Chain A
């Protein structure tokens, strides 16, 4: 019965056999973190399979399944769009496409951040039993949220069709923007995943920070409502900078260079902090979860 696997073993013993060496006096943390990252990315198929199962299990037995995500966003968009266009006294045809893009992008951010907090604690059973790279779990989180986003983002196209908005060729710039999103979700999954595993109070704190961030970021209100002299300060809000890399190309014919610079800067800071933390504490994760 084991015959089909046997040649593999012959290869393994004929070639150099795997050696794992660990010396607590010389932990070589950087090399291990890089190896973890490399191995994690190489195992993307595992992350993809787990992400797909996550989504499927979440909607098991449901008739519409993940379409519910799209529907609930659509209903919220319709309701909020008409309400706020009246409150802000803006024409619906102008306001609703803007709100649609903003709200859907904000959902991607908020859901990903919430998910990132549970990224490692949810994988506790696996982390404590199987020696897998931790970055696989972060990648799983990114892919899961990419799947969720894939159910919501097409709504933007529907709204644009309904209101006759055409972004033109600059819409292609959303691709690097979405790339930045993915990179940030990856970093957040590792960083928040580790922090929330170690300090269980971080999760609720993050939730309330995200609630405040929703109101201070131009999601339902347009930046034009601010006084002109305070508008240049907006890119100091990392959420705004990141959102604008996708919203700009869709609605304003491409974001300004300042926005892109700010988004890249924040992403670099985020990834840098995350990596430093990961290098230092990677070995402790199995004890934390």
Chain B
């Protein structure tokens, strides 16, 4: 059964490439809360600070908060990109992440080659890769453009291809950044059905969003982050009522 359990989870980004000493001092003076020097005397940004939460099967969680509150960092940590510097994290269930749809896309390669590449990134078997190719081709509706380099696509076509590739999966734990809910109206109408099915098939949804209407519509629970800390956690209606 899908489950996410975080206990005292912390992520710190070291700032190695800060140049001048004075710049460091100025930054430290300006934002005393999140920038600090760790015990090895490095400047670090505390991106996530001591988060504890449990998400169980069936929960649809919205991560809300200002820009830079740590929403995307939390999604990436749940996806397994970052290893926590302290605390414990357990994620049970096959993870599917819709964080950056264009990650791993090769713009010089054709649409079809990109689909093959995506299948390899995901480690799919040949049969699964064929199914993916069929599914993506049908949804993206690119026709002959599937055989020309992605570089020549219009922005809309790239989005369709990226969206189709990213959403052709059935994960138990779905991690989504709000990018996936943005797009032109015509595309969204088509994407909506596909996304709804993805969400309803997943046992857990974690969605990072700024859009309160989206959070209300899709989610049952909201976690509000501020400067890397959880400041509120509860049913969507309750948490968002504060706004």
Binding site for B on A (CB under 8 A): 1-2, 4-6, 8-9, 12-13, 17-25, 27, 43, 45-46, 49-50, 53, 56-57, 60, 125-132, 198, 200, 283-284, 286-288
Task: Give per-residue flags for B180-209: 1 if the beta carbon is below 8 A from chain A beta carbons, else 0.
Answer: 000000000000001001000100000000
Q: Which residue from chain A places its CB closest to the CB of B10 in the assembled complex?
A: A24
Q: Across the two chains, which residue of chain B brings its CB closest to A39?
A: B123
Q: Which of A2, A17, A53, A57 contacts B135 (CB 8 A)?
A: A2
A128 CA / B102 CA spacing, docked (Å)? 12
Interface residue? B28 (CB, 8 A): no
User: In the complex the two chains form, is A283's CB within 8 Å of B169's CB?
Assistant: no
B168 contacts A5, C-beta separation under 8 Å: yes
User: A43: nearest residue on chain B (CB-CB)?
Assistant: B123
Interface size for B (C-beta < 8 A) is: 53
Contact residue among A19, A53, A128, A200 (Cβ-Cβ distance under 8 Å from B92):
A19
Chain A residues near B212 (CB-CB < 8 A) = none
Indicate if the CB atoms of A46 and B121 lie closer than 8 Å.
Answer: yes
Known contacts A22-B89, A125-B104; 20 further A-B pairs (Cβ under 8 A): A1-B139, A2-B168, A5-B132, A17-B94, A20-B89, A20-B90, A22-B88, A23-B87, A24-B83, A24-B84, A25-B88, A46-B120, A50-B117, A53-B109, A57-B106, A57-B108, A60-B108, A127-B81, A130-B81, A287-B13
B86 at interface by CB-CB < 8 Å:
yes
B197 touches A2 (CB 8 A): yes
Minimum distance in angstroms from A168 CB to a CB of chain B: 41
* Chain B residue contacts of A6, Cβ below 8 A: 170
> Mask for B92-135, Cβ within 8 A of A = 1, else 0?
11110101100110101100010011001101000010011011
Could you tell me if A286 and B88 are in contact, using CB atoms closer than 8 angstroms? Answer: no
Compute how far the CA of A43 lies from the CA of B194 in the bound complex, rounded to whole angstroms: 29
Determine which of B81, B86, B106, B128 lies in contact with A53 in the assembled complex, contact meaning CB atoms within 8 Å.
Answer: B106
Q: Is the beta-carbon distance between A130 and B103 smaller than 8 angstroms? A: yes
Main secondary structure of the interface of B (DSSP, over half): mixed
**B1-31 CB contacts (< 8 Å) to partner A:** 1-2, 10, 13-14, 16-17
- In the assembled complex, the Cα of A183 lies from the Cα of B139 at a distance in Å of 43
- A17 nearest CB neighbor, chain B only: B93
Taking a contact as CB atoms closer than 8 A, the residue among B16, B108, B170 that contacts A56 in the complex is: B108
Which residues from B are CB-within-8-Å of A126?
A: 103-104, 121
Q: Which B residues lie at the A interface, using CB under 8 A?
A: 1-2, 10, 13-14, 16-17, 76, 79-95, 97, 99-100, 103-104, 106, 108-109, 113, 116-117, 120-121, 123, 128, 131-132, 134-135, 138-139, 168-170, 172, 194, 197, 201
Q: Is the CB of A4 within 8 A of B81?
A: no
Q: Quick check: A5 and B17 within 8 Å, CB to CB?
A: no
- Expressed in whole angstroms, the Cα–Cα distance for A6 and B85 within the complex equals 36
CA distance A22 to B88 in the complex (A): 6
CB distance from B88 to the nearest CB of A (A): 4
Contacts known (A43-B123, A46-B121); A23 close to B170, Cβ less than 8 A: no
Pair B120/A12 contact, Cβ less than 8 Å: no
| In the bound complex, CA of A252 to CA of B126 (Å) | 46
Q: Which residues from chain A contact B108 at a C-beta distance below 8 Å?
A: 53, 56-57, 60
- Residues A286 and B81 in contact, CB atoms below 8 Å apart: yes
State which of A1, A24, A198 has its C-beta within 8 Å of the C-beta of B88.
A24
Complex Cα–Cα for A136 and B117 (A): 14
With a CB–CB cut-off of 8 A, which chain A residues contact B82?
Answer: 286-287
- Rounded to whole Å, the gap between the CB of B236 and the closest CB of chain A is 27
14 contacting pairs across A/B (C-beta < 8 A): A19-B91, A20-B90, A23-B87, A24-B10, A24-B85, A24-B88, A27-B83, A45-B120, A49-B120, A53-B117, A57-B106, A57-B108, A126-B103, A127-B81
Q: Are B88 and A23 in contact (CB under 8 A)?
A: yes
Residue on A with the closest CB to B128?
A8
List residues of chain B with CB within 8 A of the CB of A288: 16
Are A5 and B83 closer than 8 Å at their CB atoms? no
Q: Which residues of chain B come closer than 8 Å to A2, judged between CB atoms? A: 135, 168, 170, 197
The complex places the Cα of A49 from the Cα of B117 at a distance, in Å, of 7
Residues of A within 8 A of B116 (CB): 49
Residue in A8, A19, A22, A25 whose CB lies within 8 Å of B170: A8
Docked CA distance A57–B80 (Å): 30
Contacts of A9 in B (CB 8 A): 94, 170, 201
With A4-B134, A43-B123, A287-B13 already in contact, the answer to whether A129 and B90 are too (CB < 8 A) is no
CA of A12 to CA of B134 in the docked complex: distance in angstroms?
Answer: 22
Query: Are B106 and A22 in contact, CB atoms less than 8 angstroms apart?
Result: no
Structural contact, A17 and B2, CB atoms closer than 8 A? yes
Chain A neighbourhood of B81, CB < 8 A? 127-131, 286
Q: Which of B85, B104, B128 has the most CB of A within 10 A?
A: B104
**CB-CB < 8 A to A56: which residues of B?**
108
A21 to B6, CA, bound (A): 10
